[in-house]
Amino acid sequence: MQAASRKAEAPLPAPDPDWWRGAVIYQIYPRSYQDSNGDGIGDLKGIIGRLSYIADLGADAIWISPFFKSPMKDFGYDVSDYCDVDPMFGTLADFDALIAEAHRLGLKVMIDEVLSHTADNHPWFQESRSSRNNPKADWYVWADARPDGTPPNNWLSIFGGSAWQWDTRRQQYYLHNFLAEQPDLNFHNAAVQDALLDVTRFWLERGVDGFRLDTINFYFHSQGLENNPALPIEQRNDQTAPAVNPYNYQDHVYDKSRPENLGFLERFRALLDEYPAVAAVGEVGDSQRGLEVVAAYTAGENRVHMCYAFDFLAPEKISAAKVRNVLEDFDKAASDGWSCWAFSNHDVMRHASRWGAGEPDRLAYLKVISALLMSLRGSVCIYQGEELGLGEADLAFEDLQDPYGIRFWPEFKGRDGCRTPMVWDADARNGGFSTAKPWLPVPRAHLAQAVSRQQDDQNSLLEHYRRFLAFRRSHPAFAKGDITFLAGEGDVVAFTRREGNEQIVCAFNLGSRPAAVDLGEGRAAQPLAGHGFADAAEGNTIRLESYGAWFGRFA
């Protein structure tokens, strides 16, 4: 009997090392996803209980924002212990259970690694600040004051003010690109790199399938500590920081995006390649050189697998011209690189409000731009709640938790508006997120968009996401195919996706008026079914209703 049983067991299929290419990654902000213990804060057990929802949606992977031990000055992006779970989120055993359940459901698990800086109560920093000659004295970026006592240069923090904080113990300044409670690690020190690679191995050994690398282009600084030059006013934009932030006044050539980073990324990739099917996506925050940096970081096979810049996360509204320009510019800069596109995440205003607020038919608009996102060449990140069409929450000042918003209020209200709790059940207390008062309020307007109200309603945005993700999965060209843009006028984006013998024609009308796409003489196309948009083609002309999309093959 035992021999027969062993003979019947089929060998497990080899993991696909290329799973990340074209994957749809669902981002979870753990504080706001599901509370399992009634303290008003989401946790790992809450995520476990909702994994089947994500699998049913059709995502390939999840990315979990930080859940490590932290004083929570920046809500987990200030890590005090890289190798443990903060008690508010659970335990390492809970994380192991999450990995097991996700894998059972066919979901990959990516976690958020915050390597550029730590919390100021991290043991490494506590030792580093204790003297100028301790074993970790050079693990952070320290510099003497100028003769007049001012900071060593003009570098600015994204969260406002100087990027330098005076420390009375060492009587030196330390660098912090974000909060003063988030000192920057010194990547010029090989021991720092080694320690961070050990952290990465710790989570790889626990079974994670990949990493989202926070602020990947902030790892290195110029050791010369040169002043950043002023940025001409006509070149300023608000892609990395809000318009009211003077951070936008500088050309950040010395405090980030340094060429030395490539060597560390190659060390990082070599570690990942020791494991059969692990991937990394880097966050690139650079308003002047974003695509250039993404291209450099993803070139070849020995750096990170994919990156994303803020091209579609910035306030500027998406348009047909912008879509084509961004993707064609990326292809020119990184023909062998790979990007990961997103319209929303935990750091920016939700795109349902950022772009959709003024549209005559907001639901139809959100459907067409989501279909566009999921049809572009690259991988895709979906931020929790965007599949419900959640808009930015308008919170009172007294409800704010984000230090960024508190600093720049009221012109910039921070990131709390996109971090409010997920709404599961319109009729349950706090939308089914928690039985206790949530850490951020649940907007009353969100309750009408809860999962309970949208599931099984074929006209809802949630069912549109489910339908379109199934459609995408049934056509491999969407995941890994090439992209070639077709002529389009006005608000129309049109292109083909080709993989092997499959070529799909895709057309999207981002506007509120009917439009058409002329495929050219003798290039008629036949429609594909299953995506949920109306089919309308006559010969070589595709007719698109307002906010319509069309998918087909050349006849």
pLDDT digits (tens, 9 = 90+) for 38-63: 999 999 999 999 999 999 999 999 99
Is 545 annotated in the active site?
Answer: no
Sheet holding 164-167, edge to edge: 142-143, 172-175, 164-167
- What is the band of 523 on the pLDDT scale with cuts at 50, 70, 90? confident
Whether 435 shows a pLDDT value over 50: the answer reads yes
Task: Give the span between the Cα atoms of 455 and 441, in whole angstroms.
Answer: 23
Tokens of 127: 């030792």
- The pLDDT score that the predictor gives to residue 505 is 94
Can you give the three-state secondary structure of 190-201, one letter per residue?
HHHHHHHHHHHH
Question: Average pLDDT for residues 13-42, to the nearest whole number?
Answer: 95
CATH topology for 479-554 is Immunoglobulin-like (2.60.40)
As annotated, the residues of the chain forming the CATH 2.60.40.1180 domain(s) are 479-554
Angle between helices 44-57 and 461-473 (to 10 degrees): 70
Task: Give the span between the Cα atoms of 205 and 184, in whole angstroms.
Answer: 26
**What rounded mean pLDDT belongs to the chain?**
95
- The pLDDT score that the predictor gives to residue 2 is 43
My answer on whether omega of the bond before 360 falls inside 30° of 0, hence cis, is no
SS3 390: coil
Is 274 annotated in the active site?
Answer: yes
Share of the chain above pLDDT 70, in %: 97
Residue of 35, 184, 209, 214 with catalytic role:
214
Whether 519 shows a pLDDT value over 90: the answer reads no
Residue of 9, 148, 205, 274 with catalytic role:
274
Task: Give the span between the Cα atoms of 197 and 85, in whole angstroms.
Answer: 18
Task: Give the span between the Cα atoms of 509 and 543, in whole angstroms.
Answer: 9
Look at residues 353, 287, 354 and name the one whose alpha carbon lies nearest to residue 316.
354
- What is the band of 436 on the pLDDT scale with cuts at 50, 70, 90? very high
CATH superfamily of 18-118+190-473: Glycosidases (3.20.20.80)
- The pLDDT score that the predictor gives to residue 524 is 79
As annotated, the residues of the chain forming the CATH 3.20.20.80 domain(s) are 18-118+190-473
Contact 373, 352 (CB under 8 A): no
Helix intervals (H) in 105-231? 123-128, 190-205
Instruction: Tell me the residue ranges of DSSP E strands in 363-434.
Output: 379-383
Residue pLDDT, tens place only, 450-486: 999 999 999 999 999 999 999 999 999 999 999 999 9
- What is the band of 554 on the pLDDT scale with cuts at 50, 70, 90? confident
For 181, 351, 402, 404, the CA distances from 75, given in Å and listed in that order, are: 12, 22, 8, 11
